[in-house]
Amino acid sequence: MTFIAIVDGAITTVALPSIARQFDLTTAALDGVVVVYPVCLAMAIPASAWLVERLGAKRVLLTALAAFLGSSLLCGTAAGLAELVAYRAVQGLSAGVLFPASAALLFATFNSSEQVRMSRYMIIPQQIAPAAAPILGGLLVDHMSWRWVFYVNLPVGVPVVVFGMLFLVEQRGRPPGRFDLTGLLLSAGGLGAAMFGICEGPNRGWSSVPVVTALALGAMLLAAAVVFELRTAEPLLKLRLFADRLFRDTNLINLVGLVPMLGAMYLGPLFLQEAQGRTALESGTSTFPEAFGVLLTVQVAGVLYARVGPRVIVGCGLAGVAVVLLLLSTCDENTGLWTFRAYMLLLGIAMGGVFMPTTVASLANIDRRDLAQASTLNTVVRQTGGALAPAAVTTALVLGTPAAASADPPVGAYQNAYLALAALAAVTSAFAFTLPDAAARAAARGTTASSSSTPLRTGHENVG
């Protein structure tokens, strides 16, 4: 489920030239096909926790996955741009519910020590998907049709739906209160507008009227949503969970730390193809080693988590990211592919110390009845960080390109962008070493930390 949703968010870009030829449009005219997905995804996330609490995580998860697969089929049959954008919107809405529901079901089923072990396996599709998407998309477009970029979801997703119907066990959180319509309108509108501004800023220019308007509107709506959700008795988004320092700090690390990590993943293919003139296949095979590095470190981090705690693992991981980004900043037009691949492997090894520990630790103090709410907030933070990464990289490249130069950024612009990402990773690493992780270590060991916080209760019982 996670694999196909992540792949679909990245694979469409590869098919844009072919879609443009089919519909007799320019590639720029297809911008809406790409942007509508993250915008609608962000707008759907706030309602996911209430839906999980009201209907159950299993039902919501399978319904969202079925809607995602149905809209994938419709995308493949689209006869024009308007239809394709509309169906992509449904895909985004479905994915916005799918991510939090799957996380809520996973973490409600397993206790903290089991979550560490499960995360070692869950990280596999999360890392393979974005690395494999460009390669898979290129093969499908070149040898079949751009429509198979969407059809490919069906043979993978349909068996998952059947399996889920037969074997998944329902999990519920606390009984939901009334539906917070005002909170939904404010948060969904704010997240959607902000996501549009972040995604379109590098393309249209940060001073363009649509981008400035979207960012300003998003900021106002999100500020209003925060005020309203903190004052209402039954909020759609339980922002009070951020009062717990461990939950707040791990999410802050994810928000800021994702920018240098995902920014490097976005910057690598641009550097290889534009600065070095490499092919798309060479680019894809050169960034792919990052996934293997992550998978290797996650297995080690899973073993060490209860012994040394997430603070040391995350802090060292981000420090390693900063060091590797400094190495990448030395790359120029003469850097060999195998040197770059070695750096990407090292980057993945460092990144593997961040993803799983922050996710598991963020839930250490959360009551089981609030897992759907916590998973929703975690998803909001990760999606925002993921959107900020390419925006930050593109902006850095634009700022590093002289006005009199050609449209393509010089090698120095890429090097400076890597340096900026390295500085951000170093600052985040320093903050990570202040993480209060006693409760997280205790939860992973199955003991109780000597703190005022209430650790996540273990057990496999359904909470209704």
Q: What residues of the chain score a pLDDT lower than 50?
A: 450-464
User: Which pLDDT value is given to residue 131?
Assistant: 65
Q: pLDDT digits over 443-455, tens only?
A: 777 665 544 344 4
Q: Which residues contact 162 (CB under 8 A, 6 or more apart)?
A: none
242-456 has the same fold as 1-179: yes
Q: Which CATH number is associated with domain 1-179?
A: 1.20.1250.20
Q: Domains of the chain: which residue ranges?
A: 1-179, 242-456
User: Which pLDDT value is given to residue 266?
Assistant: 82
User: Which pLDDT value is given to residue 176?
Assistant: 66
User: Which pLDDT value is given to residue 250?
Assistant: 93
Q: pLDDT digits over 78-95, tens only?
A: 888 888 889 999 998 998
User: Which pLDDT value is given to residue 260?
Assistant: 93
User: Which pLDDT value is given to residue 184?
Assistant: 87
Q: pLDDT digits over 170-197, tens only?
A: 666 566 667 888 888 998 898 888 888 8
CATH architecture of residue range(s) 242-456: Up-down Bundle (1.20)
Tokens of 350: 């460092």
Q: Which residues contact 362 (CB under 8 A, 6 or more apart)?
A: 246, 247, 250, 251, 254, 374, 378
